[in-house]
């Protein structure tokens, strides 16, 4: 796979190589999706107790491991955007600990800016794909994705900005270890599924361009809408239309998405619906924090 990546941007053969990489990733995801739910369970943090678990994990990653934020006396990391966010997390079933989290920030009024508008608007230069060009109740931002270091496996992911590192492999089974690199992808799938179900189709995120490129091999296609700036590392603004997620995902990752959706239903975050406007037959039952 590493050799293929080095050829993916080459002229003439690059397109063939990218298709090969996508096929390999899809085949691996088919295998992983069969085992993912045995070890890891996506859920919506729809109670005060669960949200405090999320805030504690965010403090561990953003304040203690990455030093992006100051250490808090409460050992919980949260801000003013949490009150209008849907929080999702992945729980490791055998240890009961959280293996990752992400939030979907909503906006319902002109004064309710997304973080990307409030802090990074100067980086957005796309003439059409700006949050200001869409109705406030149709936009959202994927934010605060965090995976703690004990669930970060691959040596290639040890760079600080990605919040990934070594893992104590003796503590987990071989199959569990294969699932761990998919936690971040699972969180992106959960976030875009939440965006789809709340009809907030126009999603925004600040991320590293190389992460966005990697996600295209999965079929999660973020579009860069501005320049690279310093924002907890070199990041750029990206846009995604949640309605295109299912049609772009490779077959293996469609299976993983379906697994994520089933787990979110069981956690009370999604509920079945007969609304034909939803491609996957689910609707959102959001529990937004009011703390």
Model pLDDT, residue 146: 94
Six-digit token string for 115: 């973080």
Tens-digit pLDDT profile for the chain (291 aa)?
444 344 344 443 334 334 444 444 556 666 677 778 888 899 999 999 999 999 999 999 999 998 889 999 999 999 999 999 999 999 999 999 999 999 999 999 999 999 999 999 999 999 999 999 999 999 999 999 999 988 876 444 444 443 423 334 444 455 544 555 688 889 999 998 889 889 999 999 999 988 888 788 778 899 999 999 998 888 999 999 999 988 888 777 888 888 888 888 877 766 654 444 444 444 444 444 434
What domains are defined for the chain?
A: 2-284 (3.40.630.30)
Model pLDDT, residue 276: 40
Model pLDDT, residue 181: 67
């Amino acid at each position: 796979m590493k050799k293929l990546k080095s050829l993916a941007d080459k002229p003439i053969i690059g397109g063939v190589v990218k298709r090969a990489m996508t096929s390999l990733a899809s085949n691996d995801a088919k295998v992983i999706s069969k085992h993912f739910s045995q070890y890891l369970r996506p859920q919506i943090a729809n109670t005060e107790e669960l949200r405090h678990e999320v805030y504690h994990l965010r403090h561990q990653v953003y304040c203690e491991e990455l030093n992006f934020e100051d250490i808090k006396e409460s050992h919980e990391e949260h801000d003013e955007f949490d009150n209008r966010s849907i929080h999702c997390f992945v729980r490791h079933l055998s240890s009961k600990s959280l293996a990752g989290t992400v939030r979907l920030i909503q906006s319902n009024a002109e004064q309710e800016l997304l973080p990307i508008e409030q802090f990074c608007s100067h980086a957005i230069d796309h003439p059409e794909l700006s949050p200001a060009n869409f109705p406030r109740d149709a936009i959202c931002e994927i934010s605060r994705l965090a995976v703690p270091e004990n669930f970060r496996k691959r040596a290639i992911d040890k760079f600080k900005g990605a919040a990934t590192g070594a893992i104590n492999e003796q503590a987990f089974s071989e199959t569990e270890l294969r699932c761990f690199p998919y936690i971040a992808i699972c969180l992106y799938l959960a976030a875009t599924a939440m965006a789809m179900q709340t009809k907030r189709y126009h999603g925004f995120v600040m991320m590293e361009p190389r992460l966005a490129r990697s996600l295209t091999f999965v079929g999660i296609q973020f579009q860069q809408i501005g320049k690279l700036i310093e924002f907890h590392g070199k990041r750029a603004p990206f846009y995604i239309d949640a309605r295109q997620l299912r049609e772009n995902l490779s077959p293996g990752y469609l299976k993983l998405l379906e697994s994520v959706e089933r787990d979110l239903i069981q956690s009370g975050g999604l509920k079945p619906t007969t609304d034909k406007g939803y491609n996957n037959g689910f609707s959102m039952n959001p529990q937004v924090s009011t703390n």
